[in-house]
Amino acid sequence: MQVRIEHLTKKFGDAVAVSDFSMNFDDGKLVALLGPSGCGKSTTLNMLSGILPVTSGKIYFDDDDVTNTPPQDRGVGICFQNYALYPHMSVLENIAFPLEIKKVPKEERLAKAREMAKLVHVDMLLDRKPKELSGGQQQRVAIARALIKTPRLLLLDEPLSNLDARLRLEMREEIRRIQQETGVTTIFVTHDQEEAMSICDKIVLMKDGYLQQEDKPQTLYDDPHNLFVANFLGNPPINNLYGTIQNGRFVLEDGSASIKIDNPNAKEGEKVVMGIRAESVTISKSGDHDFEAVIKQRYTMGKEELAFLNIGNQVIRVYLSSDYTYDVGEKVFLNLRQKGVFLFDQETGERI
Amino acid sequence: MKGDNIKKFFIYFFLALGAIVMVFPFYWMISGALKTAAEYNSYPPVWVPSNWLNFDNFVRAFQKAPFQTYFLNSLLVTLCSVTLTGIVTILGAFAFSRLRFPGRELIFSFLLAFMMVPFEMMVITNYQTVTKMGIINTIPVLIVPFTTSIFYTYILKNFFDTIPDSLYYSARIDGASNWKYLWRIMVPIAKPSLVTIMLLNAISSWNSFLWTSMVINSDKYRTIPLGLFAFMTEGGSDPKLQLAASTVSVLPMIILFLFARKYIVNGVARGGLKG
């Protein structure tokens, strides 16, 4: 099912949680609503589920206007951060509960619940109570319960936040698998960019109630529309250098260093932020270079080595090439790649 | 090690002493009820009745006063009271915990403030009310005034408050009504708390004396405590029979306590002793 929201706005008193948000969620896709806490992503999810009434704007499921439809009539399945399993019911009863409410005959609903349990791989735990399950297992049960009514839309509210790091990796693959097997349109709220990047077909990035950018994960990463998007995605975070454009070069604020740039839109004298991804810098000991820097600190991170470099009085993080060894305090020459280097307006944060 | 043992000895010694002081009156009551006249009156006292199955005193007590009626009245009142109070408490606690309505917090604060008014203060107004309702000197008069309890509602509301909102929203999205959610999800989760409430209610209902003595004046509606009291004056002054009657009156509560000790202690510890 395709979900379309138009000019969606939610106010709590004077506080605006979501502001004039319009978006299409394509049929059968897994989409992440991504953003820092308080950006309005959970509020948006709750409006989609019908738990929260909208202040203004419209929500369409395919061609049905569901803006004022009560939650139970929308055909959505939801999975909360704390799983919201019913502690007094067994796994089987929990999964079957939505059908119990629908007054589906007992045999039929238990059969269906077993089938769902199989899909999410908890079919050996059917008689357990939720408190006898691990976090990941509870998550699976919650997803099965959300899916048993074959919802038109599956909503996942920070589904991985309560899991430890290993389990989180496993469960995000599981969510992807289950979503692809069932083909249900899924919207997934998270504040973890890595989670969103790794499993989603599309990322919708929000901040302070406003949509920042929406696109495929890789496009968002390679082509951020503003400084916030560039900063939010990527690990290690993108480097930010503050300075101005002078004679076609980027000059640091205090003039202590400059970088050759290749951007026809950069206007002379403009105050800008230069965003440089750690992997977009090549480092060498000699030869042609865009700028120079001094190695300040080195960190070995398993397969690669990360270094902090001083450029003028500012610091950037880059990956060291493994061809040479570099010493702390050594002067090095750096070249920028085409990809992963951006200029942003310092005031508006917009991409130049 | 040695010091530990001495400490332990004193702890158990005083605990044992306390237990004896607590249990002795019950023992004396039950054993006295089973003694023959000769055993009861002998000096020095006989500690153990010769025949533990000597129920003569019970038979005679039951012949002198309709204890079976009192017993059934008490049972009826307690059962009705526990059921009705239970339902009203569940609905009230749900409203205060889950539903949003204007003035909710204010109303609840007022109710909590009313809890400080002792029951004795309300006896007269309650008496006037039941007189006007025309239910004085009937069984309902022992039940109706006690169907709401702020204290129990407060305990249960607090428990309901600990159930995460997400369970509610999850159930609502699955199509469960408030009513369904309350009985299928909330009440089963709150079972320990509910059992405690019902037990406290049963005990206070079974033992209720002041109100009963004011509104019941015919023998056939007397409950056990009132019947026992009347028996002391009307049934002659044979202490053996009084002990037998007392035994019958406290027995159900003792049995209840033995089975549900955990819940009662839990309830008393949570809310301070009341009822």
Angle (CA) B49-B52-B55 rounded to 5° is 105
Per-chain mean pLDDT for chain B: 87
The answer to whether residues A85 and A93 touch, using CB atoms and an 8 Å cutoff, is: no
Q: For residues A291 and A319, give the distance between their C-alpha atoms in angstroms, rounded to a whole number.
A: 16
- Closest Cα to residue A217, out of A231, A237, A196? A196
Q: For residues A148 and A137, give the distance between their C-alpha atoms in angstroms, rounded to a whole number.
A: 16
Q: Mind listing the pLDDT tens digit for each residue in A35-47? A: 998 888 999 999 9
Q: For residues A322 and A61, give the distance between their C-alpha atoms in angstroms, rounded to a whole number.
A: 52
> What are the structure tokens assigned to B2, written together?
């040695």
The answer to whether residues A257 and A311 touch, using CB atoms and an 8 Å cutoff, is: yes
Q: Which amino acid is at B232?
A: M
Q: Mind listing the pLDDT tens digit for each residue in B83-132? A: 999 999 999 999 999 998 999 999 999 999 988 888 888 888 899 999 99
Q: What is the DSSP string of A25-94?
A: E-TT-EEEEE-STTSSHHHHHHHHHTSS--SEEEEEETTEE-TT--GGGTTEEEE-TT----TTS-HHHH
- The model's pTM is 0.80
> Which among B165, B173, B191 is the top mutation candidate for probing chain A, defined by the most A β-carbons within 10 Å of its own β-carbon?
B173
For B272, counting Cβ atoms within 10 Å of its Cβ (0-12 exposed, 13-18 middle, 19+ buried), the class is exposed
The answer to whether residues A48 and A153 touch, using CB atoms and an 8 Å cutoff, is: yes
- Closest Cα to residue A182, out of A60, A1, A33? A1
Residue A351: how many other CB atoms lie within 10 Å: 18
> Which among A78, A79, A103, A162 is the top mutation candidate for probing chain B, defined by the most B β-carbons within 10 Å of its own β-carbon?
A78
- Closest Cα to residue A69, out of A96, A51, A84, A85? A51
Which residue in chain A is spatially nearest to B164 when comparing CA positions? A84
Sign of the dihedral through C-alpha B15, B20, B21, B27: positive
Q: B-chain residues within 8 Å CB-CB of A77?
A: 173
Q: For residues A97 and A91, give the distance between their C-alpha atoms in angstroms, rounded to a whole number.
A: 10
The answer to whether residues A37 and A191 touch, using CB atoms and an 8 Å cutoff, is: yes
Beta pairing, strands A304-311 & A239-246: unpaired
A129-143, A226-240, A242-256, B173-187 — which is least confidently predicted?
A: A242-256
**Residue B90, CB half-sphere, CA atoms under 13 Å: how many?**
23
Q: B-chain residues within 8 Å CB-CB of A49?
A: 169, 173
> What are the structure tokens assigned to B59, written together?
């038979």
What's the whole-number mean pLDDT along residues B8-13? Answer: 92
ipTM surpassing 0.85:
no
Out of B170, B175, B176, name the one closest to residue A84 (CB). Answer: B170
What's the pLDDT band for B273 if we cut at 50, 70, 90?
very low
For chains A and B, CB pairs below 8 A equal: 51
Q: Mind listing the pLDDT tens digit for each residue in A179-210? A: 999 999 999 999 999 889 989 999 999 999 89
Out of A72, A80, A88, name the one closest to residue B174 (CB). Answer: A72
DSSP, collapsed to helix, strand or coil, labels residue B271 as: helix
Out of B173, B176, B185, name the one closest to residue A49 (CB). Answer: B173
Q: For residues A159 and A142, give the distance between their C-alpha atoms in angstroms, rounded to a whole number.
A: 10
CB atoms A51 and B169 under 8 Å: yes
DSSP, collapsed to helix, strand or coil, labels residue A319 as: strand
The pLDDT, as a whole number, for residue B179 is 94
Q: For residues B200 and B78, give the distance between their C-alpha atoms in angstroms, rounded to a whole number.
A: 11
**Closest Cα in chain B, distance from residue A88 (Å):** 6
> Which among A45, A69, A73, A101 is the top mutation candidate for probing chain B, defined by the most B β-carbons within 10 Å of its own β-carbon?
A101
Q: At what angle do helices B67-98 and B239-271 cross, to 10 degrees?
A: 10
CB atoms B175 and A77 under 8 Å: no
Q: Could you tell me the CA-to-CA distances from A19 to A13, A38, A298 in Å, in that order?
A: 14, 13, 43
The pLDDT, as a whole number, for residue B274 is 43
CB atoms B173 and A86 under 8 Å: no
The residues pairing with A32 across neighbouring beta strands, listed in sequence order, are A188, A203
Out of A80, A87, A88, name the one closest to residue B170 (CB). Answer: A80
Q: Which amino acid is at A263?
A: N
Out of A71, A81, A87, name the one closest to residue B173 (CB). Answer: A71
**What's phi and psi for A88, nearest 5 deg?**
-90, -5
Sign of the dihedral through C-alpha A282, A283, A288, A294: positive
- Report residue A115 CA to chain centroid gap: 31
What's the whole-number mean pLDDT along residues B44-60? Answer: 83
Q: A-chain residues within 8 Å CB-CB of B193?
A: none
> What are the structure tokens assigned to B70, written together?
């009192």
Out of A71, A87, A102, name the one closest to residue B172 (CB). Answer: A71
Q: Mind listing the pLDDT tens digit for each residue in A239-292? A: 999 999 988 888 888 888 888 888 888 888 889 999 999 888 888 887 788 888
For A90, counting Cβ atoms within 10 Å of its Cβ (0-12 exposed, 13-18 middle, 19+ buried), the class is middle
The pLDDT, as a whole number, for residue B46 is 81
Residue A14: how many other CB atoms lie within 10 Å: 5
pLDDT at B271 over 60: no
